[in-house]
Amino acid sequence: MHAEHGRSGQWPLLLDALDPLDAEFRPWGSGEIYPGQMSTAANHDPAGLLAKWWATYTAFDEDDDMLSAEQRLAVTAPFGQRWPGRAPGRESVTSAGQLAADYARVFLAGRPQSRLGLVTAASGAEALTTVGWSGPANYDNDTAKFSAVVGDWESRFGARVVAVGFSTLHLSVTAPPETEEDALLVAAEHFAFCPDNVWQGTRPYTLAAYAERITGVHNWDFWWD
């Protein structure tokens, strides 16, 4: 269905639920979506957002912090508190639509309770704002900001939005980082976008370990606590 988007204008989203056994199928069946409360992605600069979020999440607060200053710097080494800038984009010979369809099949195999949603939107990134998804609300309740960043990833890495849950987001990626240097820069973007991917991901909880896990991998998955 991703290949049909250019003709139909409908972006296919696999809708996952917080609890697949819950009859409300949150947030979709329970109505916990807020399209009227969002701005628009075009109003936001993705580079500026990433730099701002990075500064926020790498800052040390003596009054409210579970990590010491040294521990916090170790998480984001080798950059520490210094924002390294965005990773360079990459060209890919892989069809973004075909890869998205392939990943959709893989996702459904693991989450067969997912439902198909069709959203009138120019892209998957914009579809997130159009439906009023609020997964990252504990960090920022304006989904359009996240749509702006995902839209930038669509251009730079051939990312496509495949599935979205209560507080999860799943993308296919045609041109993931292939070198350690590029993977660290992409990992920094992911940390700024969704710090829980690193803070609460797979041990060790460091940017370098996360970068190793995403090198050459054709899907990016995010979860906000």
| pLDDT number for residue 47 | 98
What band does 22 get if pLDDT is binned at 50, 70 and 90?
Answer: confident
| pLDDT number for residue 17 | 94
pTM of the full structure: 0.94
Q: What is the pLDDT of residues 56-105, one digit of tens each?
A: 999 987 766 677 788 888 999 999 999 999 999 988 878 999 999 999 99
| pLDDT number for residue 23 | 84
What band does 7 get if pLDDT is binned at 50, 70 and 90?
Answer: low
Q: What strand order describes the sheet that includes 159-164?
A: 115-120, 10-15, 159-164, 168-173, 219-223
Q: Are 15 and 124 in contact (CB under 8 A)?
A: no
| pLDDT number for residue 69 | 81
- Mean pLDDT check: name the lowest of 1-5, 65-69, 89-93, 170-174: 1-5
Closest of 189, 210, 184 to residue 199, by C-alpha: 210
Q: What is the pLDDT of residues 134-169, one digit of tens each?
A: 999 999 999 999 999 999 999 999 999 999 999 999
| pLDDT number for residue 119 | 96
- Regarding predicted confidence, which is higher, 70 or 220? 220
Per-residue pLDDT averaged across 3-14, rounded? 79
pLDDT at 20 over 90: no
173 sits in which H/E element: strand 168-173
Token readout for 67 is: 């990590």
Q: How far apart are CA 63 and CA 65, in angstroms?
A: 6
In whole angstroms, how far apart are CA 156 and each of 135, 150, 204, 209?
A: 23, 10, 28, 23
Buried b / exposed e across 34-50, counting CB within 10 Å, b at 16+?
Answer: beeebeebeebebeebb
In whole angstroms, how far apart are CA 94 and each of 65, 104, 174, 212?
A: 43, 16, 6, 22
Helix axis angle for 180-193 and 207-214, nearest 10°, is 110
